[in-house]
Amino acid sequence: MGNKRFQSSLTKKFVMAFMGLFLITFLFVHLGINLLVLLPDKDYFNLAAHFMSTNPVIKVFEVVLFGGFIIHIIYGLILQIQNWMARPDRYKIEGWSHKSPFSKFMIHTAAIIFIFLAIHLGDFYFRAKFGAIGDVLINGEHYHDMAALVMAKFLSLGYVVGYILAFVILGFHLHHGFQSAFQSIGLNSKTYTPFINGLSTIISIILSLGFIVIPLVIYFGS
């Protein structure tokens, strides 16, 4: 008893919600660019990747984005640890009354997404920044051949399976996370909440399926 918290539980939830919604908007941008790799002309993807890594506005957003991820992760961990501490003695029979099956496993899906993110950043983001990547000539200028890197990665069955699993898990995370964010910031009404719940399902399916389609097309199309 008697533990004063530096921020209230509700403030932390607001931060989680806003950061979560911000990260979802980023996922849509990321998906839009990724889908370009499926076009027959890989120049579009390579030019988009170049734009994303060099444009000054995007560079500012990159910092905001990393900050968003870190805050979402740290606050999520703090909230989860406090939640575990709030029930030191577990029940013999665990309850299953929650309305969404995914809501109970947010920390577990988050852990898998975090592992995926670490591998993903190592394979693409940091490699593009610091590693050796082949060049491609577009309109007389040299660009990183990110498309070739992606195509090569998605020829490995293990990589494709891992990638798909990660995005199925992300879908579960977002299915609860999107609609939950609105409740956390106090938006719950019988007029629009059914719409938000429906949108949550649609967004989670679009984002996970959208990302999953890419390795499938590359693997089976090659």
Partner 1 sequence: MDLTLKIWRQAGPTVKGKFEQYSISGISTDSSFLEMMDVLNEELIGKGEEPVAFDHDCREGICGMCSLYINGRPHGPDGGITTCQLHMRKFKDGETITIEPWRAKPFPVIKDLIIDRSALDAIIQSGGYISVNTGGVPDANAIPIAREDAELAMDAAACIGCGACVAACKNASAMLFVSAKVSQFALLPQGKTEAKDRVRTMVAKMDELGFGNCTNTYACEVECPKEIKVTNIARMNRHFLGAKVSG
For residue 186, the minimal CB distance to partner 1 (Å) is 3
In this structure, the dihedral spanned by the alpha carbons of residues 155, 158, 163 and 164, taken in order and rounded to 10 degrees, is 100
> How far is it, in rounded angstroms, from Cα 103 to Cα 109?
10
Q: What are phi and psi of 137, to 5 degrees?
A: -95, 115
Q: Which is nearer to partner 1, 15 or 150 (CB)?
A: 15
Q: Do 49 and 109 form a contact (C-beta atoms < 8 A)?
A: no
> Cα 18 from chain centroid?
14
Q: Which is nearer to partner 1, 96 or 130 (CB)?
A: 96
> How far is it, in rounded angstroms, from Cα 33 to Cα 44?
9
For residue 174, the minimal CB distance to partner 1 (Å) is 14
Residues 6+ apart with CB under 8 A from 179: 193, 196, 197, 199, 200
For residue 91, the minimal CB distance to partner 1 (Å) is 6
Q: Which residues pair with 137 in a beta bridge?
A: 142
Q: Which residues pair with 141 in a beta bridge?
A: 138
> How far is it, in rounded angstroms, from Cα 103 to Cα 81?
16
Q: Which is nearer to partner 1, 57 or 86 (CB)?
A: 86
For residue 93, the minimal CB distance to partner 1 (Å) is 4
Q: Which is nearer to partner 1, 97 or 139 (CB)?
A: 97
For residue 127, the minimal CB distance to partner 1 (Å) is 35
For residue 121, the minimal CB distance to partner 1 (Å) is 27
Binding site for partner 1 (CB under 8 A): 1-5, 8-14, 79, 82-83, 85-100, 103-104, 106, 176, 180, 183-190
Q: Which is nearer to partner 1, 55 or 183 (CB)?
A: 183
Q: Which is nearer to partner 1, 40 or 88 (CB)?
A: 88
Q: Do 40 and 106 form a contact (C-beta atoms < 8 A)?
A: no
Q: What are phi and psi of 124, to 5 degrees?
A: -120, -60
